[in-house]
């Protein structure tokens, strides 16, 4: 993003799946004349219209939307690629003199946007394998003790059971002799400091119930056909789009391995687990961001206005 180009105003709306982010962003955009920028790693894929709960064509017709459905499932996007694309989009919104709303559930996207993305050196496959093997051999507790000696800041901030981030911090130090935290400290934030952020953090039981309702609604809306078309492409299962909740479960149903009811139940369980991971990440990584604990749209809007009393609406 170009330095010195100020947005008229920018809001960041983060939260777990099914928490109401899309509705809140759409209402704010309509009230403020804003443009919406996607910060959800799965909603960038055009092949996941239903399973990623992308805004509907009717929603997108109300206000400008950016980075929704712009990538093919065969093209795995990284955090860096999203940050580059988002920077260009935000520059364009700023040039038009309009407010921007960045909304989504991918915490790493928000961290890259607000804290920057460190230019990390390449890590060899041998070092990555060593890190994975060490984790399997000694377990998380002992692995954390080792990591604490290498990178105490990373060990402190990484949530329990987050194997991916633990091994990543370990392998960066092993490969470079320098802590991942030190590399990240070199990164410059892409945004100016005048953004406003909020996290949707509704009661867990109510959120989980909505997760179940949403996946059942996805099936009724055509998720099975969406998965059928995706699997017919025979893509690498390691691609991000292939890891979306529902692809594996509905794929098993399509192959005759499990019933539809079992697939829905399994996908519902995975959706709840995904929401829990998102909430844990946001709680640990964005503790200073204001929270909205309502779940219904009108309640969320009221809480949002209470957090932003000086907000001028159209």
What pLDDT, in 10s, does the model give residues 209-247?
999 999 999 999 999 999 999 999 999 998 999 999 999
Percent of the chain with pLDDT over 90: 81
pLDDT in tens, 69-115: 999 999 989 898 999 999 999 999 999 999 999 999 999 999 999 98
Name which residue leads in pLDDT, 161 or 256. 256
What was the pLDDT predicted at 160?
Answer: 86
Question: What was the pLDDT predicted at 1?
Answer: 41
Task: Tell me the C-alpha distance between 314 and 223, whole Å.
Answer: 37
pLDDT at 122 exceeding the cut of 70? yes
Provide the pairing of β-strand 100-104 with 65-66. Answer: unpaired
Name the nearest CA neighbour of 252 among 267, 238, 234.
Answer: 267
- What pLDDT sits at residue 278? 96
**Residue 3 in this model has a pLDDT that exceeds 50:** no
pLDDT at residue number 301: 97
pLDDT of residue 192: 62
Cα–Cα nearest to 171, from 194, 154, 193:
154
pLDDT of residue 110: 95
15-19, 52-56, 119-123, 170-174: least confident range: 119-123
Residue 21, pLDDT > 80, answer yes
Sign of the CA dihedral running 260, 274, 307, 103: negative
Q: How far apart are CA 152 and CA 4, in angstroms?
A: 35
Beta bridge partners of 197: 12
Structure confidence at residue 8 (pLDDT) = 55
Tell me what the pLDDT averaged over the chain comes to.
92
Domains of the chain: 10-116+188-307 (3.40.50.300), 125-185 (1.10.20.140)
Residue 2 is predicted with a pLDDT of 40
What pLDDT, on a 0 to 100 scale, did the predictor assign at position 23?
Answer: 96
Average pLDDT over residues 13-18: 97
The reported pLDDT for the residue numbered 50 is 97
159: number of CA atoms within 13 Å, CB side?
13
Give the three-state DSSP class for 301: helix
User: What is the band of 4 on the pLDDT scale with cuts at 50, 70, 90?
Assistant: very low
Cα–Cα distance for residue pair 53/51, rounded to 1 Å: 5
- 193 has pLDDT over 60: no
pLDDT of 139 over the 80 cut: yes
Other C-beta atoms lying within 10 Å of the C-beta of residue 122: 7
Task: Please check whether residue 250 is in contact with residue 224, taking contact to mean a CB–CB distance below 8 angstroms.
Answer: yes
pLDDT band for 123, please (50, 70, 90 cuts).
confident
Query: pLDDT-derived band of residue 252, with 50, 70 and 90 as boundaries?
Result: very high
- DSSP 3-state of 32: helix
Q: What integer pLDDT is reported at residue 134 of this predicted model? A: 95
Answer yes or no: is pLDDT of 20 > 70. Answer: yes
pLDDT at residue 190 tops 80: no
């Amino acid at each position: 993003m170009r330095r010195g180009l100020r947005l008229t105003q920018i809001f960041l709306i983060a939260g777990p799946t099914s928490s109401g982010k899309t509705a809140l962003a759409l209402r704010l955009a309509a009230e403020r004349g804003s443009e919406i920028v996607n910060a959800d790693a799965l909603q960038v894929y055009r092949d996941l219209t239903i399973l990623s709960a992308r805004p509907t064509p009717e929603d997108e017709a109300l206000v400008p939307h950016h980075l929704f459905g712009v990538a093919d499932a065969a093209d795995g996007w990284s955090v860096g690629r999203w940050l580059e694309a988002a920077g260009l989009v935000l520059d364009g919104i700023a040039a038009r003199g309009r407010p921007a709303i960045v909304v989504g559930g991918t915490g790493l996207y928000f961290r890259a946007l607000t804290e920057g993305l460190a230019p990390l050196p390449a890590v060899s496959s041998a070092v990555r394998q060593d890190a994975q093997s060490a984790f399997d051999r000694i377990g998380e507790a002992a692995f954390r003790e080792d990591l604490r000696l290498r990178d105490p800041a990373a060990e402190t901030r990484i949530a329990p059971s987050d194997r991916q981030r633990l091994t990543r911090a370990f392998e960066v130090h092993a490969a470079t002799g320098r802590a991942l935290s030190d590399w990240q400290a070199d990164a410059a934030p892409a945004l100016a400091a005048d953004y406003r952020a909020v996290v949707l953090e509704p009661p867990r039981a109510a959120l989980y119930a909505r997760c179940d309702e949403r996946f059942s609604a996805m099936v009724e809306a055509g998720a099975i056909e969406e998965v059928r078309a995706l699997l017919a492409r025979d893509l690498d299962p390691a691609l991000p789009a292939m890891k979306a909740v529902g692809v594996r479960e509905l794929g098993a149903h399509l192959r005759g391995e499990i019933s539809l009811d079992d697939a829905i139940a399994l996908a519902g369980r995975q959706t709840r687990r995904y929401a829990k991971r998102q909430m844990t990440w946001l709680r640990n990584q964005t503790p200073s961001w204001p929270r909205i604990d309502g779940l219904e749209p009108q309640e969320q809007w009221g809480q949002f206005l209470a957090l932003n009393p000086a907000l001028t609406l159209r």
